[in-house]
Amino acid sequence: MRTRVLIGAGAVLALLALVGGGAYVYYFSGLRTSPAQLGLTATPTATPTASSTPATSTGLTGTWTVTSGSVAGYRVKELFAGQASKHEAVARTPTVSGALTVRGGASGYQVSDVTVTVGLADLQSKDQVVGRDVSQRDGVVSRQLEVQQFPTASLTITSASVPAGITGGPVDVTGAGMLTIHGVTKDVTVKVRAQLVGDKVEIAGSIAINMTDYGVSPPQVPFVTVDSAVTIEFDIFLKKA
């Protein structure tokens, strides 16, 4: 009788180990994906047309405001317990506003008074991990950012030069700016790609930061270690005011 009990107990333990191991593989296996980094997505305006006024040298000058289709977010690496490779957590929001001013002409343009504001409360995770509800991360991130007290992040750029070639296709633009997160403002260098898309301008780029520089600690999550290095990314569409 005692032998049968021991055998039965052993079988139960083996089953629990199998189920537990299976659950571990299910939750923390390599079955995970992350969207590619944000970049230019629309088909550019190749040649100025009569219906595409902003594609002319004088049509670009003026004030432009952020419009629909814009998105911003972050990506940060996290390591699941027992895993050798890190997973890239990605969250994005369409709550983006702002404006900029363009001056210049055929020889080139000067962009000034750039302001972009992102609403942090609407950040939603876009990566996937089989067996894991990654949306639970959003609540943790919201608490770490203290969104109720600091609901937005903002970027300002005093000025940047834009090549005249933007009327013919995508161009590279670099500018010095100020990034504010969690009530802390730091100098940053912003590198973007810009292009004309019909009557809109599309600007996509990224900024590498360390969250601790902005008074934000890496989220504390069971079985997960989160890096402090963060990439902020954006794909913004602007329309002439």
Q: Which residues of 152-181 are buried (b: 16+ CB within 10 A; e: fewer)?
A: ebbbebeebebeeebbbebbebebebebbb
Contact between 23 and 29 under an 8 Å Cβ cutoff? The reply is: no
The pLDDT assigned to 32 comes to: 75
Percent of the chain with pLDDT over 70: 82
75 to 123, 174, 211, 225: CA distances (angstroms): 11, 21, 12, 14
Element (H, E) at 149: none
The pLDDT assigned to 46 comes to: 55
pLDDT, tens digit, 9 for 90 and up, residues 146-188: 999 999 999 999 889 999 889 888 999 999 999 999 999 999 9
Distance of CA 90 to the CA centre of its chain: 7
d(CA 68, CA 114): 18
Contacts of 96 (CB under 8 A, 6+ apart): 66, 70, 71, 72, 116, 117, 118, 119, 234, 236
The pLDDT assigned to 206 comes to: 95
Is 90 exceeded by the pLDDT of residue 80?
no
Is 70 exceeded by the pLDDT of residue 202?
yes
Hey, is 105 helix, strand or coil?
strand
The pLDDT assigned to 147 comes to: 97
pTM of the entire predicted model: 0.81
State the residue for tokens 């939603």.
124
d(CA 218, CA 127): 18
Ranges of each domain in the chain:
1-30, 33-240
Is 70 exceeded by the pLDDT of residue 20?
no
CATH of domain 33-240: 2.40.128.110
pLDDT, tens digit, 9 for 90 and up, residues 90-142: 999 999 999 999 998 778 899 999 999 999 999 999 998 887 788 889 999 99
d(CA 5, CA 196): 76
Which of 103, 76, 68, 109 shows the shortest CA–CA distance to 236? 68
